[in-house]
């Protein structure tokens, strides 16, 4: 439980760094660190398949795609960057407060399942499809949510770049 809390706090710091970084490269690296933290949590929750998927796709492939996208964008002038940083700080200051409240609510009101105590899957049903859909449904839902949040982040980023 202590290790889960430490990883969660480190992920919170990485999330804040990702949102508040002035450089797109730093934001991209922060997002990769968040994915590594999610991977660690998945392994701690005894979800190695989801953890390997998170590490290979989200921390690996998505980071490479973002690096290619960032290399195609032109840098913002220094004068505009300072103004933009102040506006972003005003816009996103509730993020850490909401994250802390959501984390506290999860730990206080939700019963965290013991993933390691899930029953073993019989040999006849030991396929990845059966494990994902029947034994690891919560992991799969988390992966889908992370992919959708990543897509939402990319859309938001391109809308901000387009508006400038």
39-68 residue pLDDT tens:
998 888 887 888 888 888 878 878 877 777
Long-range pairs of 74-82 with CB within 8 A, sequence gap ≥ 24: 76/164, 80/164, 81/22
To the question of pTM greater than 0.75 for the whole model, the response is: no
Task: Label residues 136-153 b or e (16+ Cβ within 10 Å = b).
Answer: beebbebbeebeeebeee
Domain residues for the domain of 48 are 2-119
d(CA 149, CA 77): 28
Name the domain count of the chain: 1
Is 157 inside any structural domain? no
On whether residue 146 sits in a domain, the answer given is no
Q: At what angle do helices 2-20 and 78-92 cross, to 10 degrees?
A: 140
Tell me what pLDDT residue 118 has. Answer: 55
Does residue 44 form part of some domain?
A: yes
Give pairs for 31-34: CB < 8 Å, separation 24+: 31/62, 31/63, 31/66, 31/150, 31/153, 32/59, 32/63
pLDDT, tens digit, 9 for 90 and up, residues 100-159 = 888 788 777 776 666 555 555 455 456 666 766 777 777 777 777 888 887 777 777 777
Mean pLDDT is lowest, of 24-28, 29-33, 72-76, 117-121, for 117-121
Residue 23 three-state SS: coil
Evaluate if residue 164 carries a pLDDT over 70.
Answer: no
Instruction: Band the pLDDT of 75: cuts 50, 70, 90.
Output: confident
Domain annotation covers residue 86:
yes
- Does residue 128 lie in a domain region? no
Q: Is 124 contained in some domain?
A: no
- Gap between the Cα atoms of 47 and 65, Å rounded: 25
pLDDT value at residue 112: 62
Report pLDDT for 119. 57
**Tally of CB atoms within 10 A around 99:** 15
**CA atoms of 49 and 64, how far apart (whole Å):** 21
Alpha-carbon distance 49 to 56, whole Å? Answer: 11
Residue 35 lies in a domain: yes
Is 154 domain-assigned?
no
């Amino acid at each position: 439980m202590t290790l889960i809390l430490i990883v969660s706090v480190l992920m919170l710091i990485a999330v804040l760094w990702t949102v508040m970084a002035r450089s797109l490269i730093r934001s991209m690296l922060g997002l990769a660190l968040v994915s590594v933290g999610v991977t660690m949590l998945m392994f701690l929750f005894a979800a190695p398949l989801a953890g390997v998927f998170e590490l290979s796709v989200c921390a690996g492939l998505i980071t490479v795609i973002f690096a290619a996208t960032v290399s195609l964008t032109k840098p913002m002038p220094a004068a505009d960057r300072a103004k933009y940083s102040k506006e972003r700080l005003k816009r996103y200051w509730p993020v850490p407060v909401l994250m802390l409240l959501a984390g506290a609510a999860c730990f206080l009101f939700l019963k965290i399942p013991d993933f390691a105590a899930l029953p073993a899957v019989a040999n006849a049903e030991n396929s990845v499809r059966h494990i994902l859909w029947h034994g690891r449904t919560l992991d799969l839902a988390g992966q889908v949510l992370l992919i959708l949040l990543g897509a939402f982040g990319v859309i938001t980023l391109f809308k901000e770049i387009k508006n400038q």
